[in-house]
Amino acid sequence: MGKLRGFLEHDRRDPPERDPRERVGDYREFVGTLPLADLRGQGARCMECGVPFCQSGCPLGNLIPDWNDLVYRDRFREAIDQLHRTNNFPEFTGRLCPAPCEAACVLEIEEGNAVSIKQIEVAIVNRAWEEGWIQPRPPRTRTGRTVAVVGAGPAGLACAQQLNRAGHSVTVFERDEAGGGLVRFGVPDFKIEKWVVERRLDQLAAEGVAFRYGVNVGVDLDADELRHGFDAVVVATGSRVPRDLPVSGRELGGVHFAMEYLYQRNRHVARELGPLPEGAPPAPAEPISAAGRHVVVIGGGDTGANCVGNAHREGAVSVTQIELVGEPPPHRPDAVTPWPRWPMKLRTSYALREGGERDFAITTTALTGNGRVEQIQWAENAGVPPFDPIPGTEEARPAQLVLLAMGFLSPEPGLLDQLGVARDTRGNADAQAFATSAEGVFAAGDARRGQSLIVWAINEGRQCAVAVDRWLQGREA
């Protein structure tokens, strides 16, 4: 635990953020960490809980009380070892995870009072990199077994690192020009600068993981050839089929899936500020741009927020984010999501704190324009399914760029079909214990469980690596 009665002596303190008026002018990260003395005070707040619900709230099962206590005692070198026992990439999760661990903290019974776990996590790993404590850990011996991992997102990278450290020879195939998946191409630099991702990729490469970028397995490389060239195959391609908007005018110019926009913006920043990966495509002749336009983002999750944040930085005339569901209550509804469950309550994203409008319980009815979208038409709904428009609430707004950020349905089916992998009713790889219906083919991350959090992706990659390692050992036996 931290300091005895520390939670009574120290109030929760959130990490410092740069002023929204300043940060919308650049693409640098805007969230910092507290000074060491204040950070140790936050670690001191961790209680000697009989049951540390924070650990069960974290999909990775992070040993949170252990490293909170070590930070309080200024033993950061030991803290990073505890953190790495369960999490391959804490600098990713410490920046991007919504922190279900904090929602499950016993102190969160008093809403808003949880230990600032996420801030402590990223401070530990930042210090570890600065001190040079994080070094490549190549295996001492090799098993002679080979594994292909398809997809270089968090699930694929975690799986690759674990299998490589077990002594297997791992090759990661990625159709994009660099690794990181949506952490690299879907999340803006102002949330995680891409040198942070590149640094981890360098560690994996130094440990012996091979990377083949720009290879779209199933298109550039036949799936049968992959299976015959490796002892095992792991599919970690994510859930990349976006939910579409079936309304009149969907075909107009200026209506795009969110990832089309975010990929372009991240590549633009890489060209301007670096690091620019080798093999990156040239700038598009007609880029998707929010500059000088009225922007409407349909969807209220993290992807939508990232679109809003980028639109601000491009200089949009206006930004409006609309959600299909009704507005949640301002505080945790104990009758619906009691502690320690993730509370279904109103949250305002970093992007909306920078500006823009938000509306709830909105059903889009049409998009109109002459070849290119000019207006969005919508109506209010009851806030619950079936979300039918309420007569008399119709409205039209200017919209010169409409971004669809309504979630993802499933992994792209082509590779799964080529590999002979059965799919469940949602279209995900049917792999209850990570092994699929195809011998020697495994699945992990969003490709298996559906779209989810980065902590789930890393956990899936780690658990899948255990399953693959056991299967390979069984073949040897």
Which CATH number is 338's domain given? 3.50.50.60
Is residue 58 assigned to a domain? yes
Helices (H), 315-453: 350-353, 413-419, 446-449
Identify the bridge partners of residue 169 per DSSP, sorted by sequence position.
Answer: 146
- Give the domain extent around 265: 244-406
Where does residue 91 rank: exposed (0-12), middle (13-18), buried (19+ CB within 10 A)? Answer: buried
- pLDDT at position 272 is 95
Number of domains in the chain: 3
Same structural domain, 385 and 433: no
Is residue 136 assigned to a domain? no
Please tell me the distance from the alpha carbon of residue 267 to that of residue 452, in angstroms, as a whole number: 24
Along the chain (477 residues), what's the average pLDDT of each consecutive run of 10 residues?
Answer: 81 97 98 95 91 95 95 97 98 98 97 96 98 98 98 98 98 98 98 98 98 97 96 98 98 98 98 94 97 97 97 98 97 96 97 98 98 98 97 97 98 97 98 97 98 97 98 84
Type and span of the H or E element at 53: helix 53-57
Which CA distances in Å does 328 have to 76, 322, 325?
Answer: 39, 14, 9
- pLDDT at position 4 is 79
Per-residue pLDDT tens digits for 284-337: 999 999 999 999 999 999 999 999 999 999 999 999 999 999 999 999 999 999
Question: What's the CATH number where 29 sits?
Answer: 1.10.1060.10
Is residue 1 assigned to a domain? no
Same structural domain, 151 and 272: no
Please tell me the distance from the alpha carbon of residue 87 to that of residue 60, in angstroms, as a whole number: 7
- pLDDT at position 36 is 94
- pLDDT at position 6 is 86
Q: Quote the tokens at residue 474.
A: 């069984």
- pLDDT at position 341 is 96
Identify the bridge partners of residue 17 per DSSP, sorted by sequence position.
Answer: 31
Per-residue pLDDT tens digits for 97-116: 999 999 999 999 999 999 99
- pLDDT at position 48 is 79
Q: Per 3-state DSSP, what percentage of the chain is helix, strand, and coil (rounded to 5)?
A: 35, 15, 45
Same structural domain, 389 and 266: yes
Is residue 89 assigned to a domain? yes
Query: Is pTM, for the whole model, over 0.75?
Result: yes
